[in-house]
Amino acid sequence: MTQEERKRLIEQRLKKRYLKEKVFRSIGLLAVLAALSMLFILFATIILSGYRSFQQTYIRLNVLLDKTVIAPSGSANDDDIFSADYVALLKATLKDMFPEVSSRQEKKMLYSLLSSGASMQVMDFVMQNKNLIGTKQTIWVTADDDFDMLIKGYIKRNVPEEERRIKDVQLKWIDKMMAQGRVEKRFNLPFFINGDSREPELAGIRGGLVGTFYTILVTLLLSFPLGVATAVYLEEFAPLNRWTDIVEVNINNLAAVPSIVFGLLGLAVFINFFGLPRSSPLVGGLVLTLVTLPTIIIASRAALKAVPPSIRHAALGIGASKMQAVIHHVIPLAMPGMMTGTIIGMARALGETASLLMIGMVAFIVETPADILEPATVLPVQIYLWADSAELAFVERTSMAIMVLLWFLIVMNGVAIVLRNRFEKRW
């Protein structure tokens, strides 16, 4: 082989190698792009189907706060105000606005344009303004979900009447109200301050948020100390023998166990054996502790391993005991890594539903829990329940609740990244 030939051969091979390198890189890039575009599609569909529920349709009514209905005994005491028939007041108001409506069927259709929560809004108004009883007042009340869907364009006006949930007569009334400027879209505050409801226009995530808070609090308070203590013992103190090997293998296995299994365990142990209250954040937190513990232990052990042995040797060398070396030097240095692991574990717990199914947290609960023993749901369960509801308006509520959940997850993961960048030391 001449010099010339050899050179050519090398150049050819070089070309091939460069090409291979290019292909390899572009495959990697494609994978990243595919993942990103999936993420983008996910976010786009959720935001597109949910952003409209930041607003909710309200109707302006001039309600006559009839004294004979609200305070029949003459004085406006709280009991009378609570038990008064506000539906009758609203019906009278609508009758005033549409005197031409007379048949029973049509009246029912007219009243159904208002949310069933409207009477409660009138009651709240009266409770706060007792001096206005007997006068005519302007009150904004929530519109029914079908009305809301029409205003937002989900119910189309051009489909045949029998396929539309808003009928032609109702359209006529709605148009009249709109012409009078009585219909307005406002910020959907009830979504954030109400508990669950079967009426989409009244349903809110407060119960789910508070339930999530309590559940995660219980999880954090139990799993962080338990996880860190386990990791420190296994990493720093435990002798290397068959037993610690078995424990280690088991922890790694537990991290991969499906969460529904932990739910079954929770049902058998915490509810049936210990008799803790079903559906409570306490039991939820205990189950989620089991779900997150392996993650926290594994992350904490990795963080402890990353602390160089020279730190331990130096501490021991100047006379510190083993415990002093660990508590004063190793743990503080490993803390950012442990925290990151814990936050990622908590983020997993935040999105957990399957394990909560077995312990009764998948339930219709309106009241906001006041402590960790009262029945509660969590945010992902709320999403699951709404996604299963028949009403059209729950579709956008579901997407909105997903946005809230995603926001929390992003914030938590963001905090984890900041902690890591700010406090983590590299050697």
Q: Cβ closer to another protein: 60 or 278?
A: 278
Question: Which region holds residue 64: left if phi is over 0, alpha if psi is between -120 and 50, else beta?
Answer: beta
Could you tell me which of 55, 62, 67, 58 has the C-alpha nearest to residue 139? Answer: 62
Alpha-carbon dihedral angle through residues 332, 287, 197, 133, given to the nearest 10 degrees: -60
Q: Cβ closer to another protein: 120 or 320?
A: 120
Task: With beta carbons less than 8 A apart as the criterion, state whether 52 and 188 touch.
Answer: no
CB of 225 to another protein, least distance (A): 5
CB of 224 to another protein, least distance (A): 7
CB of 221 to another protein, least distance (A): 4
Q: Cβ closer to another protein: 234 or 409?
A: 234
Task: With beta carbons less than 8 A apart as the criterion, state whether 202 and 190 touch.
Answer: yes
Q: Cβ closer to another protein: 222 or 344?
A: 222
Sheet holding 136-142, edge to edge: 136-142, 55-64, 183-187
Binding region for another protein (CB under 8 A):
82, 108, 112, 116, 120, 156, 159, 162-165, 195, 197-199, 221-222, 224-225, 274-279, 282, 331, 335, 360, 362-367, 373, 375, 387-392
Q: Cβ closer to another protein: 273 or 427?
A: 273
CB of 249 to another protein, least distance (A): 27
Q: How far apart are CA 333 and CA 374, in angstroms?
A: 39
CA atoms within 13 A on the CB side of 29: 6
What residue type is 150 in one-letter code? L
Kindly report the number of other CB atoms within 10 A of residue 177's CB atom.
20
Q: How far apart are CA 132 and CA 64, in angstroms?
A: 10
Q: Cβ closer to another protein: 5 or 162?
A: 162
CB of 83 to another protein, least distance (A): 9
Q: Cβ closer to another protein: 195 or 208?
A: 195
- The H or E element that residue 77 is part of is none
CB of 364 to another protein, least distance (A): 4
CB of 35 to another protein, least distance (A): 25
